[in-house]
Amino acid sequence: MESYRKPVKSDCEALLSRFRQTQSVRFEVFSNIWKEMKFVQIFRQSHNKRAFCRMVLDVAYCYFMPPFSFQIRVGGLYLLYSFYHCQNTSPPEQIRVALKDWEDVRNFEKESLDAQHLDVAYILQQLLTCKAFLFTAMPTLLHYNRKRTEEKPELCDEFMERPCRPQELINTQLTEEMSNIHELYKNMKASISSQMSTADAASVSLIRDGIVSELCSAVMEFYNWQQNKDTVDEAQPSQERISSQQECSNRAKLLASIKSKAYEEASEAVKSRRHRQVEIDLPAEEDKSFLKLHHSRVPKPSLKNRTKEQIRMSGNMGREAARITLINHLVTLEPALQEKIKNERRFKSLNEHLESQTISTSH
């Protein structure tokens, strides 16, 4: 079923991009796009229907979670609702919701109610009523013998929520409260510093005077930069492509010129040195010593000489070690031992002869 994941994801992104262009979060608008693109036909898969339905719901569930914008998350919710009611399995496959994501779902519901998007809240309540959610520990099924390092899904930049935290943090209510606190601090500092010396009064000033105006100007500057960046990115995609192509062509030309120069220099050097003999100007004595060093081979001493130098023996042992060992000496016995063995053989043969004579006389 993993082979169907990319086509299903591309189709869902095409539908959500069309829904995003409408600048609306109404279910009626989404339903019209759904019908135009004939998304009902996605469940015509006849082989392994339940696994295919589970995979489609997993793909749609990704767009219902952060970090996507509010409109894309609404489109993801509508996708889940439509896929759940259009699937052809009985009983229907449930939508897996991890426990760690349930807080995001509740915050999304609260945000839609605060903005009076009642159709969004109604669709979510309908899914809860028909028990479409299956609360699990993990958002996807875990299997044995599965790759630990899976490829991370590529997120569409157009669907991402723009960073607007500075604007949300520095609002008019906060700036008014900060300005009031700043005025109270200035009045208290003035009343205390009037009773102190000039050196001690200077050490009391711990905050700048125009901090509120500086914060407001910094937030406005960030907002203007964000707007200009978006307009430049949308207006100049072709110019960036052209400039990148020109840079690539210039770099290729530069590399080609460097290679051609290098090959020319190498070929000239080869032609000039083809029949040239190497000449070394050395004095006569240095020339002889140089030849001796490079052409004379120093013989390495043999193992016998190295052993003789390392081991020094004295007396009969030294003379015996210096004498050459022959092969017949390794197999012959000592003279005294050899004479003893001969005597034992003679005595044995004599005893056998005497025993044979006694036996013959007795008979």
The answer to whether position 15 is within a domain reads yes
Whether 12 and 109 share a structural domain: yes
Whether 68 and 126 share a structural domain: yes
The answer to whether position 301 is within a domain reads no
Whether 7 and 136 share a structural domain: yes
The answer to whether position 254 is within a domain reads no
Residue 280 has pLDDT above 50, yes or no: no
The answer to whether position 186 is within a domain reads yes
Q: Write down which residue in 203, 230, 257 finishes a domain.
A: 230
Whether 77 and 21 share a structural domain: yes
Structural domain span for residue 26? 1-140+152-161
pLDDT, average across residues 296-309? 73
What local confidence, expressed as pLDDT, does residue 278 receive? 47
Whether 83 and 104 share a structural domain: yes
pLDDT, average across residues 234-246? 58
Q: Write down which residue in 208, 230, 252 finishes a domain.
A: 230
Spatial separation of the C-alpha atoms in residues 110 and 128, rounded to whole Å: 15
The answer to whether position 348 is within a domain reads no
The answer to whether position 124 is within a domain reads yes
Spatial separation of the C-alpha atoms in residues 209 and 179, rounded to whole Å: 10
- Spatial neighbors of 362 by CB under 8 A, at least 6 apart, are none
User: Are 56 and 8 within 8 A, CB to CB?
Assistant: yes
**DSSP 3-state of 68:** strand
The top-scoring range by mean pLDDT among 1-5, 23-27, 324-328, 354-358 is: 23-27
Whether 99 and 56 share a structural domain: yes
Identify the band that residue 72 occupies on the pLDDT scale cut at 50, 70 and 90.
very high
pLDDT, average across residues 147-162? 62
Whether 73 and 21 share a structural domain: yes
Number of domains in the chain: 2
Cis preceding linkage at 91, omega within 30: yes
- Spatial neighbors of 123 by CB under 8 A, at least 6 apart, are 27, 77, 78, 81
Cβ-count burial 151-176 (b if 16+ within 10 Å, e if not): eeeeeeeebeeeeeeeeeebeeeeee
Whether 15 and 102 share a structural domain: yes
Residue 347 has pLDDT above 90, yes or no: no
Average pLDDT, the chain: 77
Whether 34 and 181 share a structural domain: no
Q: Is the pTM of this model over 0.75?
A: no
Residue 330 has pLDDT above 70, yes or no: no
User: Are 101 and 138 within 8 A, CB to CB?
Assistant: no
**Long-range pairs for 173-182: beta carbons < 8 A, 24 or more residues apart:** 175/212, 175/215, 175/216, 178/211, 178/212, 178/215, 179/212, 182/207, 182/211, 182/212
Whether 125 and 223 share a structural domain: no
Whether 58 and 126 share a structural domain: yes
Residue 116 has pLDDT above 80, yes or no: yes
The amino acid occupying position 164 is: C
Rounded to the nearest 10°, the torsion over CA 347, 353, 356, 360 is -140
Q: Give, rounded to a whole angstrom, the gap between the first and last alpha carbons of the chain.
A: 110
What local confidence, expressed as pLDDT, does residue 125 receive? 95
Residue 276 has pLDDT above 70, yes or no: no
Identify the band that residue 244 occupies on the pLDDT scale cut at 50, 70 and 90.
low
The answer to whether position 110 is within a domain reads yes
Whether 190 and 109 share a structural domain: no
Q: Write down which residue in 175, 205, 230 finishes a domain.
A: 230
What local confidence, expressed as pLDDT, does residue 124 receive? 95
The answer to whether position 300 is within a domain reads no
What local confidence, expressed as pLDDT, does residue 192 receive? 76
